[in-house]
């Protein structure tokens, strides 16, 4: 693990703990905590992410600041799309799916419109940054 990845993980862990301690009051209303199941370890993994709302769906992007690879949580949800999301103090089960084609492009523009840094992330990498749709779990409505 390189220094940059180590720093990124330390920051994410700190943000996650602060968000949980403060009941979601950390950094405003545009973050969520995404809990995935590790595809190799089977352990619960929690990561704070910028969120966009699209109707009942929540959207997250696997930008990693324009890094050349997708984030670990992306591979976890590819293996198991059942996730848990915390927004503020509210925890709920959701199902993740990767947006593709025109839908992905439309949703990606929502991230760019919300924060211009997303456009710069796209310029730093050759990969298509995934946009993930987190839909309410129909079994828990």
Chain centroid to CA 138: 20
User: What's the pTM?
Assistant: 0.81
DSSP conformation class of 41: T
Q: Are strands 57-61 and 90-98 parallel, antiparallel or unpaired?
A: unpaired
Instruction: Give the CATH fold of the 3-140 domain.
Output: Pnp Oxidase; Chain A (2.30.110)
What pLDDT was estimated at residue 112? Answer: 96
Cβ-contact 35, 83 below 8 angstroms: yes
pLDDT digits (tens, 9 = 90+) for 61-70: 999 999 999 9
Q: DSSP letter string over 112-130?
A: HHH-THHHHHHHH-SSPPP
Tell me the mean pLDDT per 10 residues along the chain, length 141: 53 54 56 94 92 96 93 95 92 96 97 93 94 85 47
What pLDDT was estimated at residue 39? Answer: 94
The domain spans of the chain are 3-140
pLDDT digits (tens, 9 = 90+) for 100-129: 999 999 999 999 999 999 999 999 999 999
Q: C-alpha distances in angstroms, 74 versus 21, 26, 37, 78, 141?
A: 25, 23, 11, 6, 25
How many C-beta atoms lie closer than 10 Å to residue 133's C-beta?
18
């Amino acid at each position: 693990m390189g220094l940059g990845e180590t720093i990124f993980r330390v920051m994410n862990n700190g943000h996650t703990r602060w968000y949980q301690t403060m009941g979601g009051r950390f950094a405003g209303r545009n973050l969520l905590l995404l809990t995935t199941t590790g595809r190799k370890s089977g352990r619960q993994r929690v990561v704070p992410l910028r969120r966009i709302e699209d109707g009942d769906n929540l959207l997250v992007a696997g930008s990693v600041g324009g890094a050349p690879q997708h984030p670990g949580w992306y591979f976890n949800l590819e293996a198991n799309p059942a996730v848990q999301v915390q927004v503020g103090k509210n925890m709920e089960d959701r199902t993740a799916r990767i947006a593709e084609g025109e839908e992905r492009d439309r949703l990606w523009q929502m991230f760019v419109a919300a924060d211009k840094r997303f456009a710069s992330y796209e310029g730093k990498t050759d990969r298509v940054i995934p946009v993930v749709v987190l839909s309410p779990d129909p079994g828990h409505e």
